[in-house]
């Protein structure tokens, strides 16, 4: 009885794995044909965190060293994700309209963790840039306010100097007579 239950559980696990792979990549790769450095015709690449990239060049027995930092994705999703996360002048102009436009379409196309990470990196870049712009605007407003106050002070001082000059001229004229 216990063996039958374990077999059912193992079969369900395998079905779940196959469903996830099929849902994410839309292709089926036999476990014996999975490679750490797949050729282009295999239509998948590994997306791995930078800290674990060196492990792809080693022999992995179980993949336990990588944990969730290794994921098979389509090569296009990596290219799309990289172009969104990199700050370029074109991206900065486009991001003024909001980062969600590009990131939402990317997440609909690709349900992978890598796509989500790229989306969050793009959002982070957008928020950092937005914060810098807000700070610059606040600083500009503060400087404009100080400038206006100083201009008024200069005008007041100039009118005071002019009045005192006129009074001095009048007093000199009174002394000379």
Query: The domain containing residue 129 runs over which residues?
Result: 75-149
Quick one: what percent of the chain has pLDDT higher than 90? 27
pLDDT tens digit sequence for 23-75:
666 666 676 777 767 777 777 777 777 776 776 666 655 555 555 555 666 66
Residue 61 lies in a domain: yes
Predicted confidence (pLDDT) per residue in 63-95, tens digit: 555 555 556 666 666 666 555 444 444 444 444
Beta bridge partners of 47: 71
9 with 44, same domain: the answer is no
Residue 27: closest CA among 62, 67, 76, 70? 76
Per-residue pLDDT tens over the stretch 125-145: 999 999 999 999 999 999 999
Q: What is the mean pLDDT of residues 100-105?
A: 48
Do 80 and 134 have their domain in common? Answer: yes
**Alpha carbons 92 and 85: distance in angstroms, whole number:** 11
pLDDT range class, residue 96, cuts 50, 70, 90:
very low
**79 and 143 assigned to the same domain:** yes
* Whether 119 and 144 share a structural domain: yes
Q: Are 44 and 28 in contact (CB under 8 A)?
A: no
Work out how many domains the chain is built from and give that number.
3
Q: Please indicate, yes or no, whether residues 131 and 91 belong to a single structural domain of this protein.
A: yes
């Amino acid at each position: 009885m216990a063996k039958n239950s374990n077999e059912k559980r193992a079969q369900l696990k395998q079905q779940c794995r196959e469903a996830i792979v099929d849902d994410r990549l839309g292709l089926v790769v036999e476990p014996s044909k999975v490679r750490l450095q797949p050729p282009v015709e295999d239509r998948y690449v590994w997306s791995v965190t930078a800290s674990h990239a060196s492990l792809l060049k080693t022999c992995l027995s179980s993949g336990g060293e990588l944990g969730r930092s290794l994921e098979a994705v389509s090569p296009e999703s990596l290219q799309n994700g990289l172009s969104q996360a990199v700050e370029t002048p074109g991206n900065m102009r486009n991001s003024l309209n909001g980062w969600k436009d590009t990131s939402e379409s990317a997440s609909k196309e690709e349900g992978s963790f890598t796509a989500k990470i790229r989306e969050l990196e793009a959002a982070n870049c957008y928020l950092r840039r937005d914060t810098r712009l807000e700070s610059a605007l606040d600083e500009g407003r503060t400087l404009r306010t100080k400038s206006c106050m100083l201009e008024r002070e200069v005008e007041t001082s100039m009118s005071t100097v002019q009045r005192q000059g006129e009074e001095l001229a009048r007093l000199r004229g009174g002394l000379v007579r």
